[in-house]
Amino acid sequence: GNSVTQMEGPVTLSEEAFLTINCTYTATGYPSLFWYVQYPGEGLQLLLKATKADDKGSNKGFEATYRKETTSFHLEKGSVQVSDSAVYFCALSDRLSGGYNKLIFGAGTRLAVHP
Amino acid sequence: EADIYQTPRYLVIGTGKKITLECSQTMGHDKMYWYQQDPGMELHLIHYSYGVNSTEKGDLSSESTVSRIRTEHFPLTLESARPSHTSQYLCASSESEKLFFGSGTQLSVL
């Protein structure tokens, strides 16, 4: 079945460092891909998405490119801030019966940014 | 932005008690979901609904049950709570592929 694999955390960085969180997927067809973020004590929020190959999703300085050839959707940010400390989830949209979709999530990667 | 609410935020309860976790959304979304998040952070879909009177079991087997009598309301019930049910429960709704999540209920069963 479809699945998502993320790099294990925690990832610990100093402020203004470059961030990469790796995500690869296994899927039949061409699902939409997502990054969600979960700040401490909160639910998940959509960070960015890409719906087809070579699409680049971007938001709040984060970006990720849908790479069909490497089945990857790595998250990057050029300069992280302390406020970026959170858990990041990669996800893909999978088909349910009746034409509906569900999200399959990776295991999550915890990011800690220190001043 | 997102108008999806979960109550209670935290719940500590003894073994054998019946509990209901509430989830409501005001966006008029047909699709709603319950995810269980384990301490290692991984999310597992346990129930979903396409609309009123529609409920389906998700990928992870769960002893909980759900109901969908109204579009905006998707409560989850455990008839007899056990320590193995201790977890974070996240409710979500969607209209398209984008999911909106509530803040979750942290359940601890002693």
3-state secondary structure at position A83: helix
Q: Tell me the DSSP string of A5-54.
A: EE--S-EEEETT--EEE-EEEE-SS---EEEEEE-TTS-EEEEEEE-STT
The fraction of chain B above a pLDDT of 90, given in percent, is 80
pLDDT tens digits for range B18-59 = 999 999 999 999 999 999 998 778 889 999 999 999 999 988
**In terms of CA atoms, which chain B residue is nearest residue A8?**
B40
By the CB < 8 Å criterion, does A27 face chain B?
A: no
By the CB < 8 Å criterion, does B13 face chain A?
A: no
Contacts with B35 from chain A: Cβ below 8 Å: 105
Chain A: closest CA distance from residue B52 (Å) = 15
The fraction of chain A above a pLDDT of 90, given in percent, is 76
CA-wise closest residue to B6 among B93, B106, B104: B104
Q: How far apart are CA B76 and CA B106, in angstroms?
A: 13
**Per-residue confidence band for A97, with pLDDT thresholds at 50, 70 and 90:** low
Q: What is the pLDDT of residue A96?
A: 67
Which 8-state DSSP code applies to residue B71? T
pLDDT tens digits for range A79-94 = 999 999 999 999 998 8
Q: How far apart are CA A36 and CA A47, in angstroms?
A: 5
Q: What's the average model confidence in pLDDT over B58-79?
A: 93
Which residue would you say has higher pLDDT here, A1 or A78?
Answer: A78
User: Are residues B101 and A43, on separate chains, in Cβ contact within 8 Å?
Assistant: yes
Q: Are A75 and A23 in contact (CB under 8 A)?
A: yes
